[in-house]
Amino acid sequence: MGSLGSRFQSPSQGLEEAAEGTSTSRKHNCECKKRKRNAQCDCDSEQEEDDALLDTPRRKKLKSTSRYIYQTLFLNGENSDIRISALGQEWNLHKVYLCQSGYFSSMFSGSWKESNMMEINLEIPDQNIDTEALQVVFGSLYRDDVLIKPSRVVSILAAACMLQLDGLIQQCGETMKENISAKTVCGYYACASIYGLDSVMKKCLEWLLNNLMTHQNVDLMKELGAEVMEQLIQSSDLFVMQVEMDVYTALKKWMFVQLNPSWDGPIKQLLADADAWLCKRRTDLCEKEPFLNTDEGAPFRSVFKYVRLQYIINDLASARILERDNILPPDWLTSVYKNQWFAMLRTEFDNDNGPQEANKEEFELSSMRCGRKLTKDGDYCWRWTGFNFGFDLLVTYTNRFIVFKRNTLSQPCGGAVSLQPRRHLAYRLRLASFDSRGKLVCSRSTGYQLLTLEKDQEYVVMNLDSRLLSFPLYVCCNFLYTSPQSDNRPDSSEQESTARIVS
């Protein structure tokens, strides 16, 4: 061990060393200042690291540049070099800002007479454009952000399209897609069709496919035109509640309010009044002609022809309603009855065990559409009504599983079920839940699938994550129970069988 003196410095010695250190530090700082600006200095980096740890307050701008420009140049019109007049109102504006618009950029840069004019009177051929929309559109040239109210988006979009403002057009499209509801969907779709917003049209159709039958609405039915309804009814993506007969019923109600737009009542009363109106019409006019063959019914033919009648006549009560209503031309039903009879014979004589090869095109065109609403979480088991060529399919929802079961044990009569060892089907199952405006909250789909089931066999179709589910939950299924037939002629095996019998 050394002496105490070797381990402790004297106060004077410490002061001397400290002074020496300070002198050295000052000398180092002086040398750093003499270096070139692009040289790296250790002391600078240490200082920056220290600054990074500190929360240095910054002086806030009292007024942003964008707000100043908007207030001074647009609202006050200071230093204006052009005056725009439209719809009885004037705006003192600036060419340098107007040139952001493709419309004005072409006007000022070309050989048009307006390129040197100080005052321009704009002709507004579009009735959707008003002065409030022009105020918003002109103002958007002077500011970074624009607030578009959903109630004003159509007129603003019309003005933005006229003045060729791509950024504002896109913003209008996003506003429309985020605010689709029963009150706005028809207006938004029509507007998007006029101004070429394909993505908005697609979003509106998706909303209608999901909500037309799951959340039926009288006002919506009054607004929907035949062209849009035709697209909905022919789509396999239509969320059907409960079976295809309900599609026909929805169309009957829609046709009634289209012909009687002054009707005002609850949705629950609509079907009864539609049936009463049809009955009275047949009685008063002694009308034996099917309604769609009359002048009054002709505009609805193109829509009704997409109802998948083959899944309605498979149920006795539904078939009788079709005959009673006398809406459809008889030849429509005759051809369907014939095709379904041949399909039943094919399955009865073991020539058709169901689809075994992928045929998505046929599936989309002619699959059976059906659905179910699960109001709350619990256990459910159901079947969809109608004769499905001996394929009795039970659907079960329990413990977050959806299960298909081919049922052959308990049947009311022997001819109701096929006892073939194996049957095939094509299917697609979709689940969805919606918010109060009909917007999708969550959705899941199996996609197009092929399935083979033996007698009384069960198959788990979907295992659900409880975190992604909300109720009420809507279940929508598409099924194809028989093999697709390109025409009504017998297939080769049937021809060979017939030839053997004849010989």
For residue 66, the model assigns a pLDDT of: 85
One domain for residues 259 and 288: yes
Residue of 366, 400, 402 whose CA lies nearest to 382: 402
Asked if residue 77 belongs to a domain, the reply is no
One domain for residues 239 and 330: yes
Asked if residue 33 belongs to a domain, the reply is no
424 phi/psi in degrees, rounded to 5 = -115, 150
What is the spatial distance between Cα 389 and Cα 124, in angstroms, rounded to a whole number?
A: 62
One domain for residues 408 and 460: yes
Is 390 in contact with 424 (CB distance < 8 Å)?
A: no
One domain for residues 344 and 458: no
Q: Which two tokens stand for residue 314?
A: 């498979």
One domain for residues 278 and 394: no
Asked if residue 222 belongs to a domain, the reply is yes
Is 363 in contact with 481 (CB distance < 8 Å)?
A: no
What is the spatial distance between Cα 121 and Cα 124, in angstroms, rounded to a whole number?
A: 10
Residue of 315, 426, 292, 418 whose CA lies nearest to 361: 426
CA distances to 394, 453, 460 from 457, in Å? 11, 6, 10
Asked if residue 430 belongs to a domain, the reply is yes
Instruction: Please count the other Cβ atoms lying within 10 Å of the Cβ belonging to residue 415.
Output: 10
CA distances to 82, 203, 218, 222 from 209, in Å? 49, 10, 16, 16
CA distances to 135, 228, 247, 452 from 252, in Å? 45, 16, 9, 37
Residue 260 Cα to chain centre, angstroms: 29
One domain for residues 281 and 329: yes
Q: Would strands 422-434 and 449-454 be described as parallel, antiparallel, or unpaired?
A: antiparallel
Asked if residue 295 belongs to a domain, the reply is yes
Contacts of 447 (CB under 8 A, 6+ apart): 428
The 3-state secondary structure of 235-256 reads: CCCCCCCECHHHHHHHHHHHHH
What is the spatial distance between Cα 88 and Cα 77, in angstroms, rounded to a whole number?
A: 18
One domain for residues 327 and 393: no
One domain for residues 317 and 436: no
Cα dihedral 319, 322, 323, 329 sign: negative
Asked if residue 396 belongs to a domain, the reply is yes
Q: Which residues pair with 479 in a beta bridge?
A: 368, 427
Q: Which residues pair with 93 in a beta bridge?
A: 82
Q: What is the full per-residue pLDDT of the chain (503 aa) written as tens digits?
A: 443 333 334 444 443 444 444 444 444 444 444 444 444 444 444 444 444 444 545 555 556 888 999 999 999 999 999 999 999 999 999 999 999 999 999 888 876 666 678 899 999 999 999 999 999 999 999 998 899 999 999 999 999 999 999 999 999 999 999 999 999 999 999 999 999 999 999 999 999 999 999 999 999 999 999 999 999 999 999 999 999 999 999 999 999 999 999 999 999 999 999 999 999 988 887 768 999 999 999 999 999 999 999 999 999 999 999 999 999 999 999 999 999 999 999 888 878 899 999 999 999 999 999 999 999 999 999 999 888 998 999 999 999 999 999 998 765 555 578 888 899 999 999 999 999 999 999 999 999 999 999 999 999 999 998 777 889 999 999 999 999 875 444 444 444 443 333 33
Asked if residue 493 belongs to a domain, the reply is no
pTM for the whole thing? 0.82
Angle at which helices 185-195 and 198-211 pack, to 10 degrees? 150
DSSP H or E segment with residue 450: strand 449-454
Residue where a domain stops, chosen among 298, 318, 351: 351
One domain for residues 263 and 389: no
One domain for residues 364 and 457: yes
What is the spatial distance between Cα 44 and Cα 496, in angstroms, rounded to a whole number?
A: 96
What is the spatial distance between Cα 186 and Cα 199, in angstroms, rounded to a whole number?
A: 15
Asked if residue 199 belongs to a domain, the reply is no
Contacts of 461 (CB under 8 A, 6+ apart): 402, 403, 404, 427, 429, 446
Residue where a domain stops, chosen among 351, 374, 409: 351
Task: Count H helices and E strands in the chain, helices first.
Answer: 20, 12
* Total number of domains constituting the chain: 2
Residue where a domain stops, chosen among 299, 320, 351: 351
Residue 474's domain comprises 360-480
Residue of 376, 330, 350 whose CA lies nearest to 482: 350
Residue of 153, 157, 176, 145 whose CA lies nearest to 439: 176
One domain for residues 369 and 451: yes
- CATH number for position 405: 2.60.210
One domain for residues 451 and 411: yes
Instruction: Please count the other Cβ atoms lying within 10 Å of the Cβ belonging to residue 400.
Output: 12
For residue 115, the model assigns a pLDDT of: 67
For residue 99, the model assigns a pLDDT of: 94
DSSP secondary structure string for all residues of 338-384: HHHHHHHHHHHTTS-----S--HHHHHHH-EEEEEEE-SSS-EEE--
